[in-house]
Chain A
Amino acid sequence: MTTFSHADVPLWAAVVGSAFLLLGAGLTLIGAFGLVRLQSFYERIHAPTLGTSWGMGGMILGSIIIFTSASARPVLHEILIGVFVTVTTPVTLMMLGRAALYRDRSELNPGVPPETPDDSFATAMVERKEAPSHSEQEVVSQRP
């Protein structure tokens, strides 16, 4: 790995790269600002995605432009950061979202869609009622 000095970066790359960096940082800041300001959990979930989509994208593009122009070869490994952030964000978001949904449903909070009954579970219950199991019949016959 070679080291860079700021003198290696041409002016155009410094300007364009910094613009992308500021764009990304600005979007992430606005997202953080929204996270604080919005009221409900489900609204808040949307604000930080600014940082994980184009906030991150802008910073990565800025980094690629500056380091590629400073060294002789293309520097592209930042793309991996983008890929991994994009692919792993849904995992945490779904976990948080479903936990909130579960809590709101069990606390019967208003404004949350009710849980739709699961068809497979419903049919399984119907089948059980139609054909009572052996042990249940025994319990019934033992009663006086």
Chain B
Amino acid sequence: MKRYFPYPVLTGCLALMWLLLAGFTRGQFVLAVLVSLAAPHALKALGEESATVKRWLLIPGFLGVVLVDIIRSNISVVWILLSGDHRPRNSNFITMPMKLKSPTGLATLAVVLTSTPGTAWLDYNSTRGELLIHVFDIVDEKQWIEQITKRYEEPLREIFE
């Protein structure tokens, strides 16, 4: 099984992408299946390990939390940019501990933190398990760290580890 489907998620995504671009017809479906079965073997040559998802059921909830947070932070950053510099803004770096080790989990966290305006992922030290981020407007540093740990890191560890 593993020999023919080295990356099952990639196979599914490729087939879906092909159908979205080329149209949902019977002929394109055959092509999509052929391409999505063959292409992952090229990635296998790179020796990437396949991502292991332990708990699929947690993914929709996590995506919901992320989507709401992105909307919220969009509003707050727009507010800060438009209201000008009336209020002193504390824009600074935060170094936070990171127990998450799975590469896929870390990549997902990077996407989440980057997509959220107001937080930017800068550096990660895997030996020390330390993440350096830059936050646009820090009200309470402890609260920020706790929020990222509770809302993103812990669900990601449950999903991937």
Contact = CB atoms under 8 A, between A and B. Distances in A.
Interface of A: 27, 30-31, 33-34, 37, 40, 42-43, 45-47, 49-50, 52-54, 73, 76-77, 79-80, 86-87, 89-90, 93-94, 97-98, 101, 112-113, 116, 118-120
B78 A80 contact: no
Interface residues of B, number: 35
Interface string B109-144: 011011111111111010110101010100000000
Nearest to B67: A57
Interface of B is mostly: mixed
A52 B118 CA distance: 12
Nearest to A42: B134
Contacts of A94: 110, 114, 121-122
B127 A89 contact: no
A30 B21 CA distance: 31
B115 A53 contact: yes
Contacts of B93: 42, 112-113
Interface in B68-93: 70-71, 74, 77-78, 81-82, 91, 93
Contacts of A90: 107, 110-111, 113-114, 121
Nearest to B93: A113
Contacts, number: 103
Contact of A76 (B20, B77, B122, B125): B20
Contact of A42 (B91, B95, B110, B130): B91
A40 B136 CA distance: 11
Interface of B: 17, 20-21, 24, 70-71, 74, 77-78, 81-82, 91, 93, 95, 107, 110-111, 113-123, 125, 127-128, 130, 132, 134, 136
Given A49-B116, A119-B128, A77 B91 contact: no
B114 A49 contact: yes
Contacts of A98: 122-123
Nearest to B82: A30
Given A27-B74, A47-B81, A52 B122 contact: no
19 contacts: A27-B78, A30-B78, A34-B77, A45-B120, A46-B77, A46-B117, A47-B117, A50-B117, A53-B74, A73-B24, A80-B17, A90-B110, A90-B114, A90-B121, A94-B121, A97-B120, A97-B123, A112-B93, A113-B93
